[in-house]
Chain A
Amino acid sequence: MSFAGLALDGLLALSLPILAWRTLAARDLYRAAILFITFGVILALAWARLGAPDIALAEAAIGAGITGALLLNTVGGLSRRNGGDDDERPDEPTDRVGRPWTTRLAVAIPVTILAVGLGWAVLSLPAPTVDMPSLVGEAIAEGEVSHPITAVLLDYRSYDTFLEIGVLLLAALCVWSLGLSAVRGEAPEAVAKSPVLAGFVRLLAPAMVVSGVYLLWAGTSQPGGAFQAGAVLGALGVVMVLTGLLAPSLGRGSIIRAGLALGFSVFLLVGVAAMLATGGFLEYPAGFEYGLILAIEFFLTFSIALTLTALFTTVPPREKKEGA
């Protein structure tokens, strides 16, 4: 390994725990959210250095990008609810709860035990009894999809991915169940009226759409796929809502609901249709594997992007009056 590579790895390994610590120790929530995003970006770099570009892409787009946007949105919503003024930020949400040494000790002891135990366990890991990479390699040699990650996610372990898409639909449902289908009102005026920003987004949008579709298409043979593509398009949705190019309601409720459920429904229908054809749930008929996986990924991308945007355009819950 080159010296530069070694130096970069050392820097990444050093900055990750420091960033994690600073994020947790930050008393200002806004600061913590920014640090969390930075942490996500560094973590994505670390995955890339470890030779896992798929995870790096997902971490950058979802871990840093979308999650960061959601966190910042929440911080903003909290300070608005507390009657904070944007100019002075007198009520900026901070964690001012006292932390006496007993509390610190009560946290430190189990965390230390956990760290020591995990370290011991990791250092004594045996050589794996099952050689999973070569099992995947053998299966790929016979299949139609050449990228191992896509083959694992949408073929060998498609049932897990199917349920994970269910989790995404469920997440949107959970937010709506709190009575939040009312969305975050007008875009902030300063943003909406900025011609530079709006113009920039108009230029950015086509590029993001192209990269999203490319990531989706590339997924069958190289890093990329529905999750990464969906995250990029979801981020585009967030930016468009922020600049007022897209109404926060996104459209009529019933249509949005159908869009959210589309990916999951298509996955379920393909699984059951495959069962009718071959006798096994999600057991793709020979010759249709590539086409069916691409079709599922197409609809997943759409629903993932819509879910991520929809999660962003909600406000904190309004409480009902407490009963007697």
Chain B
Amino acid sequence: MTGAFSSINWMLAPVLVPLAAATATFLLMGLRGRTRRMAQNAIGLAAAVGIAVSALALWAMVSGGGPVRYELGGWEAPLGINLYADGLSVFMLLTTAVVGAAGSVYTLGYFSGREGEDVRRREYFQDETGSFWPLWMFLWASMNGMFLAADAFNLYVTLEILGLSAAALIALGGTRMAFSAGMRYLMVSLLGSLAHLLGVALLYGSFGALDLATLGESASPIPPVWAALALISLGMALKTGLFPLHFWMPSAYTGAPSAASAMLAGLVGKASFYLLLRVWFDVFEGSVPPGAGQIFGVLGAVAIVWGAVMAMKQTRLKTLLAYSSVSQMGYLFLVFALVAGASPERGFEAWAGGIYLVLSHACAKAAMFMAAGVVIYSVGHDEIPRLHGIAQKLPLAVASFAVAGMTMMGLPTSGGFTAKWLLFSASLGTGQWWFGVVILLGGVLAAVYLLRFLNPALIQVRTAKVYRDAPRSMTVAAFGLSLFSLFLGLASAPMLDLLAVGGPFGGGS
């Protein structure tokens, strides 16, 4: 390495910037009221800008010169720890940067409630201890750290930060439901990361190294590798919320403050899915037992239908969205069945389709939870039967919900359309048409459960009582993100080019 300001050091910024911001906002927790909020907001927003800039710099670097590697402490792998960024890493960093930035703007208004305010609501809109920003910054750092990690144990450390900060963010809701949901998530998350750690121990025992590239070179289809793969896959399926391991999702996403629900449902589950993609297709692509992908595929297909059916039965908006996530996570797991035995082009199609869904679902679902937060802020609850005609009072929130919903349904120009089209095409191309049927069915079911809210909300007659207006930062962040998800389908070419950099399947076509 040549100097402190050489471009390679951009790789550290997505991790170090939020960590520094986490420390700074932690130290400011002692300030009171408005002063604390202003100071923490300023630091948090500056960090969001810093992360976005460094993600863009990495995008330019990787698409110009291919994947980059960083030797931390100047030590070569396998002795030292490396960071590694290819198209997939940068894609995930950009996803987090966009959704995280919108989420950061949203929280400016969300936590503007005053202490001692009327609390007969579903959520409190207060951050009495000032811990939202430091927790959120730790969470963001852990996700970015995971996308850049090139070391199996380093992945475990990022998983630990991820799980702890996410659990605390859920419990920040302050209600009995939020506490127990946070506790349950903590248990689930610990179980998931311990399963990963056990797998890593087996890999280290087998090959004497933790560096992913070294592991990939040494790996062969032997029992310890299978056991490690099974453990890591199980742990990450649990953290991603694959049916039937989704049991923690409805309470976690409903109990958390909406500002946190948006980041959890939008981003956190995707991080563990990213780890699965890495392990299956980059590190151990030659050692995965045949047929293993079908297990994930079938569970994913069941999740798509089951989540959608459960979503239809919900009477609370946030719980409906949580079950919608169960359904949408199912799509992601179809990738594992579609890639197995496919030609490189079909394989790339399925793989890229899954990753594109990660981005579009992250934007759309975060926007929808933000919109639900606006509804709760203004009306005091999110009971769908009591939200008749709410569109007249909260037009922007309902519009955000509807626009983001187009990605759930997979309608054209939305990111969800591109993603589901790629998956659909891969399912026909590999002769697994039944998965194609489930993909289409899931879109129809999504339309049904979304209309269960939109239909009464758009009625012109009875009007739900609104007793305060949501701050503009909340509505603008929700609407902006939903628009972004709607037009993602139009920007797919540069994003797919990015994914091809250093990706498996020889970059497709």
**What residues of chain A have their CB less than 8 Å away from a CB belonging to chain B?**
117-118, 120-122, 124-126, 128-132, 135-136, 139, 155-160, 163-164, 166-167, 169-171, 173-174, 176-179, 181, 253-254, 257-258, 260-261, 264-265, 268, 271-272, 275-284, 317, 319-324
Contact = CB atoms under 8 A, between A and B. Distances in A.
Contacts of A281: 9, 12, 16, 70, 72-73
B175 interface: yes
A163 B138 CA distance: 10
Contact of A124 (B78, B165, B222): B222
Interface residues of B, number: 76
B2 A129 contact: no
B107 to A, nearest CB: 14
A317 B172 CA distance: 11
Contact of B75 (A120, A156, A260, A277): A156
Contacts of A177: 129, 131, 135, 168, 171-172
Contact of A160 (B121, B153, B205, B381): B153
Contact of B30 (A254, A264, A276, A317): A254
A125 B206 contact: yes
A257 B130 CA distance: 13
Interface stretch (B37-45, B223-231, B432-440, B460-468): B223-231
Contacts of A317: 171, 179
B26 A257 contact: yes
Most-contacted residue by chain A among B30, B128, B153, B171 (CB, 10 A): B30
A109 B123 CA distance: 41
Contacts of A254: 27, 30
Contacts of B161: 163, 166-167, 170
Given A130-B214, A321-B119, A323-B119, A261 B27 contact: yes
A121 B227 contact: yes
Tell me which of B70, B80, B121, B202 has the highest count of chain A C-beta atoms within 10 A of its own C-beta: B80
A319 B182 CA distance: 13
A132 B208 contact: yes
A28 to B, nearest CB: 21
A320 B6 contact: no
- Point out which of B9, B16, B74, B381 has the most chain A C-beta atoms below 10 A from its C-beta: B74
B119 A130 contact: no
26 contacts: A118-B227, A126-B206, A130-B207, A130-B218, A155-B73, A156-B75, A159-B154, A160-B157, A163-B157, A167-B160, A170-B138, A170-B164, A170-B165, A173-B135, A179-B128, A181-B129, A253-B29, A260-B26, A277-B4, A279-B4, A280-B1, A281-B16, A283-B1, A320-B124, A320-B174, A323-B123
Contacts of B4: 275-277, 279
A174 B165 contact: yes
Given A177-B168, A279-B3, A323-B120, 5 more contacts: A117-B227, A157-B81, A179-B174, A283-B74, A323-B175
Contacts of B222: 124, 126
Contacts of B12: 275, 281
A57 B103 CA distance: 43
Closest 10 A/B residue pairs (Cβ): A128-B208, A177-B131, A121-B227, A283-B74, A130-B208, A279-B1, A174-B168, A254-B30, A130-B209, A121-B224
Contacts of A173: 26, 131, 134-135, 138, 168
Given A124-B223, A132-B209, A159-B81, A280 B175 contact: no
Centre residue among A118, A177, A272, A279 by max chain B CB count within 10 A: A177
A292 to B, nearest CB: 11
Given A131-B208, A268-B20, A280-B1, A156 B73 contact: yes
A202 B375 CA distance: 59
A164 B20 CA distance: 15
Contacts of B174: 179, 319-320
A68 B129 CA distance: 28
B73 A129 contact: no
Interface in B424-465: none
- Which of B6, B73, B222 has the most chain A CB atoms inside 10 A of its CB? B73
A322 B381 CA distance: 12
A145 to B, nearest CB: 13
Interface in B52-79: 70-75, 78-79
B100 interface: no
Given A121-B227, A281-B12, A283-B73, A319 B205 contact: no
Interface string B222-265: 11101110100000000000000000000000000000000000
Contacts, number: 202
A167 B177 CA distance: 25
Contacts of A159: 72-73, 81, 154
Contacts of B78: 130, 132, 135
B157 A178 contact: no
A324 B224 contact: no
B438 to A, nearest CB: 27
A319 B179 contact: yes
Contacts of B171: 177-178, 317
A239 B344 CA distance: 63
B393 interface: no
B145 interface: yes
Interface string B171-185: 110111101000000
Contacts of B30: 253-254, 257
A128 B78 CA distance: 13
B224 A155 contact: no
B325 interface: no
B208 A282 contact: no
Contact of A275 (B9, B71, B75, B160): B9
B380 interface: yes
Contacts of A129: 207-209, 218
Contact of A122 (B128, B158, B164, B224): B224
B19 interface: yes
Contacts of A169: 23, 26
B75 A155 contact: yes
Given A135-B78, A155-B73, A320-B175, A257 B29 contact: yes
A2 B155 CA distance: 42
Contact of A158 (B73, B168, B380): B73
B408 interface: no
Contact of A163 (B20, B119, B158, B228): B158
A285 to B, nearest CB: 10
Interface in B126-150: 128-129, 131, 134-135, 138, 141, 145
B192 to A, nearest CB: 14
B316 interface: no
Nearest to A128: B208
Nearest to B81: A159
A319 B176 contact: yes
A269 B380 CA distance: 45
A257 B19 CA distance: 16
A324 B123 CA distance: 10
A247 to B, nearest CB: 17
